[in-house]
Structure 1
Amino acid sequence: MLFSNFVFGGMLMMNPILLFTVVLMAKVVFFQNLVFGENDVKVLLLRELPFILLLHFLIELLAGKRRLPFYFLTSAVFSLALLSIAVYHDFYGSLLTYQALAQAGQIGELTESIVEIFNPWYLLFFVDLVLLVVYKKFKPQNLKIRKANYAVVSAVCAGAILVSVWQVEQKDIINEMKKAEQMGMFNYQFALAVGGAVHSQEPELEDITQARIQELKGTTPVAKPQDFGLAKHKDVIVVQLESFQNFLIGLKIDGKEVTPNLNKLLKESLYFPNFYQQVGKGNTSDAEFMLNTSIYPLGDYAMSQKFGNRDIPSLAKLLKPYNYESATFHTNELEFWNRNQMYQALGFEKTFDKSFFGEEETISFGASDRILYEKTVPELKKIKQSGKHIYANLIAMSSHHPFKLPEELNVFEIPEELKGTPLGGYIESTAYVDSQVGHLVELLKANGLYKDTLLVFYGDHVALGANALNETEAAYMSDWLGTDYSALESFNVPLLMKVPGKKAQVLPTVGGQIDLLPTIVNLLGVKMDDQIYFGQDLLNYSKNVLPERFYLPTGSFINNEILFRPGLSYHDGTAVTLATQEEAEKVEEYAEQFTRALELLKLSDGYVRSLPVRQP
């Protein structure tokens, strides 16, 4: 008792600036262990501490006798910020930045997913709030320090922050995680706000040419492209499957196929088993954006929220002169991820959302895939009957995280050990999604919309992160894959293209979502001579380089041989082979592709920012 009185008495006699500085520093130490896996004493003392002291000195300077509520408010705000960044990192493997506040409207829709991954250890960020009770009981004595001294120290702290930001910027670190770790999380957010950590000098518009893009990708124009116009004047239906990963294709559990309908479709389709996601912060909406534009997502904003007000060259606009009518179908509200603006920017003539599909049978954000397909096909038939060709995007959402399929819709029996786990729920959800793919095919056939349709199915993004599985789930996944589940496996999503007049074929070509548009327009016999695009036709080019900048740090890329992830620079990065997923030796060829991948992103960012604002 005597010892506890001594401790509390000592604490209370301290100036609040000392106590709250110690508490906030303890939170930062905890945060660094959660997110970066270690603590760097130099970063803590020379980069994090000056920022914290500056905040507290400003409170002393400006708040006067009412300083205590401001200390608690500051502590609460920064606790919430650190918690949010930690949760975001667990969910996406990337850092939450101040720009993501534009996505705050999406939180309500993601509540169930956030609860699913919430770690009870996160509550330690708020343990200091018990001090509020202590302060109400005792009257702490503030040390009397002249305000002039606070002003001097504040200036010193501000200078230390600027110097630390400048020092890290000089290292030219591309990897956002490493930059934040080196700079300190608070300083990193400050650097982002003033623009130092986000954008280098934008390229001149005259430098953004298709010839330059092809040079960076290592491709040359093909005089007579293979399969050009093979699907000329055919209808185009593209189905984007939520969180659908490629390992599901052909997977059997206890002798039963998880995806029998997609497996059946393989027998009359082009199948690309080495196809990878390239989404940014917008995830599903970014996949839609890439499909329709062949432009890379930015690293700091969802494309639908940042560029929904622009006039964007797109697949819908390309096809309109060829007598196509475009429509997009999404069972959630159009305002989610600003799709109401994005679809206008992309030139879609018809849009259907939650108000059309209703809530008769709801899974996750909206109507089930069964409802999606049953209400969509009659609308497609109307377009066909009007004398127009169809270009339609269908966004299937029934396999959205947290993978909780209503029991009455379950079509697959999972092993007992997986029941109640995220992996088990994922298998059940994707098996249901596949059952409805079969339903869609039957509906298209029954309405005369199947035979002459270029039908495309692809996955939008990772469902289960490489570090998201418990020991039991990881063991099952390793057994199914024949190897450990990794970032490379999680990025691998399926691409199937049922092309009228073309036999089924498995194509090992490495590709990404950026390549969908040029591949589709080649099959349709449409040229893009006057349009900038960053992908390549997967039927005419065998080599590829795919920049990544979300879920993996900027500077990561996939090519025909490896997945590369940078460290502080290229030279301390890591690479694994696509064939074996074993560590690969970095050779000069890969260093050159690292530079070219970054240049492609830079050109794409400059191009999309140059697009004109859409006139009302």
Structure 2
Amino acid sequence: MKEIVMLNRNTSNLKPIKMNKIILFMFIFSLLKVLLLYIFTIEKNIIIAFITTIPTISFIYILLFMCKPKNIKLIAFIVHAVVGIILFADLVYYQYYGFLPSITMLLFVGNVPTVWKSIFFVLRPIYFFMIIDIIPLGIYLKNRNIEHNRLKISRKNITISVVSILLIMFLSPILFIKGNTTYAYNNYGIFTYHIYDAYTQLTNKEKETLADEDLKNKVENMSNDENNKKTNKKYHGIAKGKNIILVQFESLQNFLMNREYNGKEITPNLNKLISKDSIYFNNFYQQVGPGNTSDAEFVMSTSLYPTNDLSVFNHYKENYYYSLQKILKKEGYSTYSFHGNDKEFWNRNEMYPNLGIDNFISLEDFEYDEKEDLINLGLNDMDFFDQTVDYLKEAKKPFYSTVISITSHHPYDMPEELIELELKKEHENTIFGNYIQSINYADKAFGNFIEKLKKEGLYEDSIIILYGDHAGLYPTRAENGKIMSEFLGYEYRFDEYMNIPLIVNLPGSDIKETNEIVGGEVDLMPTILNLAGIEDNKGKRFGRDLFNSKKGFVLNQYYVPLGSFIDDDKVFKMSKDGIFENSMAWDRKTKEPIDIEECREGYEKAISEFKESQLILENDLIDNIIEEQEKKDN
């Protein structure tokens, strides 16, 4: 007891430390944190971004000198902690997704517990530099006597000064930023980025708003869509009346097809599927947004584009959609979707009925042992595919079913007893190594799925369409970019990691074909309708039937800046600053640079299609478009 009293007495007798020294320490430490963030996230102009950040962060800490001595400890701690936490969150988010978080990402906080293992996998010890000082600072401030001399400025002058500086800080990005939020970040710094992002989101600055008459004209123009209205179409009705099984394969990239690792095929069962009774699209690309896997489902089902800032399944669940499932139901199909995760994940239980999916089989409906059968986000693929067939054999025929695998989800952790690929030493304990092992296991589970479909008499009466939902190895995560460039023998750019396979398996057709056309997930709906022999062009679709299109085109808007696109000849990557002239372009086959002016038309097309799709989502226009079409038909 005496020792404790003495300790307290000694602490209280310490000479008070001036608060201005502590504030100066916090200011310098925060500048170092900002510099660290820029080193990890900015490709060029690091010094410019750093210099432009100094006035903003100076203003934050100068305000502390104006606080009353009574409150200075708590306020200083809160301000410094918030700055550190924001920078930590920015850095971790960037390492996971490849870009900075928007204010709208707060809407996805509910999904964090489900993907925490994936987020944890990208963490590096150095990232904790952003928050390592917060707890020691709190303890120090609590236990030390602080001497704080508040700046002696009249209250009126303080108010005028603070308001003026705040107005300048807030208005300068709005007045001078000519590009997008990424441009704001690269040229004005992290805090200006967050201010500008909040401004654009809260004011809908980047969203198109139209008067009622203009909106009506837009609807009339969209009702004139002539896409997919051809006659004598190739493969039209080749699968008429058959069951349609669409397998959305988690994180499956195209580079894996027909490739060996350490003398062993990575995807032997997918390779076998391609080799007989199948059409293989090797230039097919993801088109997901913030909703990732759920966006792949949405794009495939509606032939509309996802948003740049919101999950469609969460934010536009009340809209009317004229979906693939609804069209098939009119033709007598029963509709199913299978997923080995909780039914609430990505709001599927609410969105599916609106898409016309009558039967949703989720984790709650499968039999499993919680300790042994769950891998990563849900039920292991082997049990998932096996039990899915049990449901399908009881389904009303013909049926349409989306089957969404899950084991090969980031961070691709696999139980030791399920691993069959032996990794090279340089790939051990890497995301790349884990990824190919999980894909190899998922491929084996898919092979068993095909065999059980045959055993139950479902295979011959069905067509199986398989595609990857999105990339598994984004180059910004860990050392993916470096490892993949070495593995492929050339630079791992966005047209490589967004390249996912599409396989159309037609049992008994004797077709073996590789289709080279460039396509994306938005093209699945019209392509499937053609195979099923269904003529229904109501509503609005941005996709094209890949069997009957002369040219391919894919716009990308999320993991690369909006305006980026891929066509049969070239790849265009829009500059992060939103300025066309600063962009990159290359020949898709030779990978040699080309003049970006050759891409202006494609860039404008990408922007136009995306904005039109967003207008439809934001104003719930599909039923209006159909109504206008019906008027014209009558």
Q: TM-score by structure 1 length?
A: 0.89
Could you tell me which residue of structure 2 aligns to residue 486 of structure 1? 493
Q: Secondary structure at the match of 1:441?
A: helix
**Structure 1 residue 582 corresponds to structure 2 residue 626:** no
Contact 2:223–2:540 (CA<8 Å) still a contact in 1? Answer: no
Cα deviation for residue 201 of structure 1 reads: 3.3
Could you tell me which residue of structure 1 aligns to residue 536 of structure 2? 528
Deviates more, 1:244-253 or 1:545-554: 545-554
Could you tell me which residue of structure 1 aligns to residue 160 of structure 2? 152
Equivalent-residue separation in structure 2 for 1:11 and 1:536 (angstroms): 70
Cα deviation for residue 187 of structure 1 reads: 2.0
Q: Secondary structure at the match of 1:123?
A: helix
- Taking a change above 3 Å as real, the CA distance of residues 511 and 294 of structure 1, as seen in their structure-2 partners, is same
Could you tell me which residue of structure 1 aligns to residue 392 of structure 2? 380
Q: Report matched runs for 1:497-508 at 5 Å.
A: 497-500=504-507, 501=509, 503-508=511-516
Q: Secondary structure at the match of 2:203?
A: coil
Equivalent-residue separation in structure 2 for 1:420 and 1:602 (angstroms): 42
Q: Report matched runs for 1:326-475 at 5 Å.
A: 326-360=335-369, 361-384=373-396, 388-468=397-477, 470=479, 474=482
Cα deviation for residue 396 of structure 1 reads: 0.4
- Taking a change above 3 Å as real, the CA distance of residues 76 and 222 of structure 1, as seen in their structure-2 partners, is same
Could you tell me which residue of structure 2 aligns to residue 513 of structure 1? 521
- Taking a change above 3 Å as real, the CA distance of residues 162 and 468 of structure 1, as seen in their structure-2 partners, is closer
Equivalent-residue separation in structure 1 for 2:53 and 2:224 (angstroms): 39
Cα deviation for residue 478 of structure 1 reads: 4.5
Select which of 72, 88, 95 maps to 1:90.
95
Cα deviation for residue 28 of structure 1 reads: 2.7
Contact 1:277–1:493 (CA<8 Å) still a contact in 2? Answer: yes
Equivalent-residue separation in structure 1 for 2:340 and 2:255 (angstroms): 26
Contact 2:38–2:50 (CA<8 Å) still a contact in 1? Answer: no
Q: Report matched runs for 1:59-98 at 5 Å.
A: 65-98=70-103
Could you tell me which residue of structure 2 aligns to residue 143 of structure 1? 150
**What is the letter of the counterpart of residue 151 of structure 2?**
K
Contact 1:245–1:494 (CA<8 Å) still a contact in 2? Answer: yes
Deviates more, 1:263-272 or 1:574-583: 574-583
Contact 2:97–2:476 (CA<8 Å) still a contact in 1? Answer: no
Cα deviation for residue 42 of structure 1 reads: 6.0
What is the number of equivalent residue pairs in this alignment? 594
Could you tell me which residue of structure 2 aligns to residue 244 of structure 1? 252
- Taking a change above 3 Å as real, the CA distance of residues 237 and 596 of structure 1, as seen in their structure-2 partners, is same
Could you tell me which residue of structure 1 aligns to residue 11 of structure 2? none
Q: Report matched runs for 1:189-268 at 5 Å.
A: 189-195=197-203, 197-201=205-209, 204-208=215-219, 221-267=229-275, 268=277
Contact 2:343–2:364 (CA<8 Å) still a contact in 1? Answer: no
Deviates more, 1:10-19 or 1:194-203: 10-19
Cα deviation for residue 534 of structure 1 reads: 1.1
**What is the letter of the counterpart of residue 269 of structure 1?**
S
Q: Secondary structure at the match of 1:382?
A: coil
Equivalent-residue separation in structure 2 for 1:331 and 1:310 (angstroms): 26
Q: Secondary structure at the match of 2:70?
A: helix
Q: Per-residue CA shift, 1:229-270, capped at 9, x if unaligned?
A: 221111110011111110110001233211111111112211
Contact 2:285–2:500 (CA<8 Å) still a contact in 1? Answer: yes
Q: Per-residue CA shift, 1:158-211, capped at 9, x if unaligned?
A: 221233222344x2x24x422332343232233234335542435725325676
Cα deviation for residue 383 of structure 1 reads: 1.4
**What is the letter of the counterpart of residue 555 of structure 1?**
G
- Taking a change above 3 Å as real, the CA distance of residues 312 and 81 of structure 1, as seen in their structure-2 partners, is farther
**What is the letter of the counterpart of residue 377 of structure 1?**
V
Equivalent-residue separation in structure 2 for 1:537 and 1:243 (angstroms): 24
Mark the runs of 5 or more structure 1 residues left unpaired by the alignment: 1-7
**What is the letter of the counterpart of residue 258 of structure 2?**
G
**What is the letter of the counterpart of residue 137 of structure 1?**
R
Q: Report matched runs for 1:166-205 at 5 Å.
A: 166-169=174-177, 171=178, 173-174=179-180, 176-183=181-188, 184-195=192-203, 197-201=205-209, 204-205=215-216
Could you tell me which residue of structure 2 aligns to residue 4 of structure 1? none
Q: TM-score by structure 2 length?
A: 0.87
Cα deviation for residue 508 of structure 1 reads: 0.2
Deviates more, 1:128-137 or 1:601-610: 128-137
Contact 1:236–1:392 (CA<8 Å) still a contact in 2? Answer: yes
Cα deviation for residue 38 of structure 1 reads: 4.9
Deviates more, 1:120-129 or 1:40-49: 40-49
Contact 2:301–2:525 (CA<8 Å) still a contact in 1? Answer: yes
Equivalent-residue separation in structure 1 for 2:553 and 2:333 (angstroms): 32
Equivalent-residue separation in structure 1 for 2:83 and 2:225 (angstroms): 45
Equivalent-residue separation in structure 2 for 1:30 and 1:429 (angstroms): 33
Could you tell me which residue of structure 1 aligns to residue 566 of structure 2? 558
**What is the letter of the counterpart of residue 420 of structure 1?**
N
Cα deviation for residue 409 of structure 1 reads: 1.6
Contact 1:205–1:607 (CA<8 Å) still a contact in 2? Answer: no
Deviates more, 1:263-272 or 1:221-230: 221-230
Select which of 111, 120, 125 maps to 1:106.
111
**What is the letter of the counterpart of residue 123 of structure 2?**
F
Equivalent-residue separation in structure 2 for 1:127 and 1:439 (angstroms): 49
Cα deviation for residue 277 of structure 1 reads: 0.7
Contact 1:331–1:366 (CA<8 Å) still a contact in 2? Answer: yes
Could you tell me which residue of structure 1 aligns to residue 127 of structure 2? 122
**What is the letter of the counterpart of residue 76 of structure 1?**
A
- Taking a change above 3 Å as real, the CA distance of residues 209 and 248 of structure 1, as seen in their structure-2 partners, is farther
Contact 2:173–2:184 (CA<8 Å) still a contact in 1? Answer: no
Equivalent-residue separation in structure 1 for 2:366 and 2:29 (angstroms): 51
**Structure 1 residue 31 corresponds to structure 2 residue 37:** yes
Deviates more, 1:35-44 or 1:108-117: 35-44
Q: Per-residue CA shift, 1:389-409, capped at 9, x if unaligned?
A: 111011101111111111222
**What is the letter of the counterpart of residue 395 of structure 2?**
I
Percent identical pairs in the alignment equals: 30
RMSD: 2.8
Mark the runs of 5 or more structure 2 residues left unpaired by the alignment: 1-13, 624-634
Cα deviation for residue 213 of structure 1 reads: 9.0
Contact 2:616–2:622 (CA<8 Å) still a contact in 1? Answer: no
Q: Secondary structure at the match of 1:132?
A: helix
